Structure 1
Amino acid sequence: MPRALTTLTLSDAKQMLEAAEAKAADIGIPYNIAVVDAGGALIAFARQDGALEGSIDLAIGKAKTARMFDKTTEYLAELAQPGAPLFGIEQSNGGHIVIFGGGLPITIDDEIVGAVGTSAGSVEQDIAVAWAAAAAIPSNSAS
């Protein structure tokens, strides 16, 4: 018997994009923002006018990485340092792992339902924009 899967919806993703775009405007940097569902598939993406082209794949990669490993990409970066338990993880999955801050798994009622990834500013700014997106989802307690 198939089990029910709770996932972010397009409506959720649009709310997240709107919140992230507002935070990016506060920071003053145009952003790339990606939202993926519980399976890691892209639901929605926004590239604000003037956002760095090179950050498109990074935003999507951060969202997918956060969902694949159910961890923030900031935390994975710590675990991937030389001598740390996950050193070299960025080479796994065909090299599609992005391990610097800005990717967050999204949870509702302690169940991971998707992830967000942001890219364009400093790592700290990317994290702030991602958290703004996550905060747009009621009951979210991003991991």
Structure 2
Amino acid sequence: MNITLEQAEKAIAAAKQKAVAVDTKMNIVVDDAGANLVAFARMEDARLGSLDIAIKKAKTARFFDMNTGIIGELSQSGGSLYNIEHANNGLINFPGGVSIRNSNDEIIGAIGVSGSSVENDHAVASAGAETI
């Protein structure tokens, strides 16, 4: 099952609301279960360089079905996923990418957010994912 455009837009709206609440501007990407782009939003004056990072965070979260922050913990020197960020034409191994699950706990997509601290990125991505 894939996330619908309506659901993706709802996730983006929730993420934007959280971004405003933490006083930051974000690039927000929602991918479907196949890691294909469904929806994107760049808040006014969000950093241009963060766009590619948001895309890769969503892709990474979906490819591995876990938050990118967890991948970051596992990819440290000596970790089981050490150097994984070099796979798949570049992955992101720090917070801001979150899997999106439906009410049956099935993964239907992922959200990637970039534009602030990794703590804010994760909080904004989580707000978007949790709305589904």
| Identity, % of aligned positions | 47
Q: Tell me how far apart the structure 1 counterparts of residues 3 and 28 of structure 2 sit (CA, whole Å).
A: 15
Which TM-score applies when normalising by structure 1?
Answer: 0.90
1:103 aligns to 2:97 (yes or no): yes
- The unaligned stretches of length 5 or more in structure 1 are 1-5, 138-143
| Secondary structure at the counterpart of residue 93 of structure 1 | coil
Of 89, 105, 112 in structure 1, the residue corresponding to residue 84 of structure 2 is: 89
What amino acid is aligned across from residue 131 of structure 2 in structure 1? A
1:67 to 42, 47, 62: 62
> Which residue of 48, 52, 73 corresponds with 1:53?
48
In structure 2, what is the equivalent of residue 3 of structure 1?
none
Q: For each residue in 1:14-61, what CA deviation from the matched residue of structure 2 results, as whole angstroms up to 9, or x when unmatched?
A: 000100000001111111000000100000000000000000010011
Output the aligned Cα RMSD: 0.6
Structure 2 counterpart of 1:101, one-letter code: P
Cα deviation, residue 110, structure 1:
2.0
Match of 1:11? Answer: 6
- Runs of 4+ deviating beyond 3 Å: none
Select the structure of larger CA radius of gyration: 1
SS at structure 2 position matched to 1:84: coil
Task: State the partner residue of 1:31.
Answer: 26
Q: CA deviation at 1:107?
A: 1.2
Report the alpha carbon displacement of residue 98 of structure 1 after superposing the two structures with TM: 0.8
2:115 match: 120
